[in-house]
Chain A
Amino acid sequence: MPIATTDLHVRLSGGAANADPNASLGGAKSTTTDAGATIFDDVSGAESAAGDTEYRGVYLSNEHGSLTYMAPKVWVGTDTPSADTDADVALAAEGVNVAMASIANENTAPASVTFTNAAVSFATGLSIADIPAGQFKGVWLKRVVNAGAAATTDSFTINFQGDTNP
């Protein structure tokens, strides 16, 4: 059977047992929990007033039993391109099937990774090396909220796409 979407997961980082998106700050891949719909927490009034920049690390995980996920790409899609927020994405410096370095807290950037805000579709996405069955690749996300940002319902999504043999 080819790789199905159910074989692919965006897993939290932060340790094998981590189930808290706010603790998804690099380190070992969570074996239990997908990133879900709220990888970043809500921005409080105080945070939006002062501005807020946060980071999260997640893993694209190929959990098919035998097939390699070939030539995958990852990108940031969005529903609400607010002028007050921006989302950047970077591939982890570590290779496939290697745990990402940890960051000290959600406001601390990972070093030695290249962020961009121009990866917004399959064609413009960041290319990842093939991910063999049972392996994974780390991806860093950065959310920037301008100081004085107006309250709004804003969101973005992490998208990925690759090829599979039948």
Chain B
Amino acid sequence: MIAHDIAKNKKLPAKYDGLTEALLEDAERAFAAEDTAREHSDKLIRSAERVKNANDGRELADFLKARAADEQRAAEWLAQKRVHHGLHVYRYEQMSDGSVVALYVTDKHPKTVKFKAFDSITEASEWSPREER
């Protein structure tokens, strides 16, 4: 089946040119999510400090602090997810014969697009990259 050949050779047909590069870019952003959340939280705190003494600034400062707390919680949750599930970015591509190749990147191997073949979309749908950890 087509997907099995693709997974074996780790090479997609020409119509998918650029797809693995795009997936790696998405993965790079996703796997930096903890840092992204913390940096955004710090930025919101700094903004809250700047506006707190302005006219009507207290309400905005409180809003910014609440959002900063959300980002801190997100960073903590991401750290838990790394342990429980791993972080991953993935997609399914269905071939003309109905077979499916899953392309995935995990935080354990963030620079590598991996391939996994399935006989059908039904079979592929039950899978997620955390099963490969």
Contacts and interface: CB of A to CB of B under 8 A. Distances in A.
A155 to B, nearest CB: 14
A114 interface: yes
B37 A124 contact: yes
Interface stretch (A8-16, A36-44, A105-113, A129-137): A105-113
B21 interface: no
B17 interface: no
Nearest to B125: A109
Nearest to A78: B77
Contact of A114 (B26, B67, B81, B85): B26
29 contacts: A53-B125, A77-B74, A86-B84, A86-B128, A90-B91, A107-B126, A108-B122, A109-B92, A109-B124, A111-B91, A111-B94, A112-B93, A114-B23, A115-B90, A116-B26, A116-B89, A118-B31, A118-B33, A120-B33, A120-B74, A120-B77, A121-B33, A121-B40, A121-B75, A122-B40, A122-B67, A123-B71, A124-B78, A142-B128
A124 B26 CA distance: 11
A114 B93 CA distance: 10
A108 B74 contact: no
Contacts of B62: none
A20 interface: no
A57 to B, nearest CB: 14
B45 interface: no
A108 B94 CA distance: 12
B-side interface mostly? helix
Interface residues on A, range: 20 to 34
Given A107-B122, A121-B74, A112 B85 contact: no
B35 to A, nearest CB: 10
B95 to A, nearest CB: 10
Contacts of A111: 91-94, 100, 121
Contact of A81 (B67, B77, B90): B77
Contact of B89 (A53, A118, A144): A118
A11 to B, nearest CB: 23
A119 B71 CA distance: 11
Contacts of B80: 81
Contacts of B91: 90, 111-115
Nearest to A51: B126
Nearest 7 Cβ contacts at the A-B interface: A121-B74, A123-B40, A118-B30, A109-B125, A124-B33, A118-B33, A111-B94
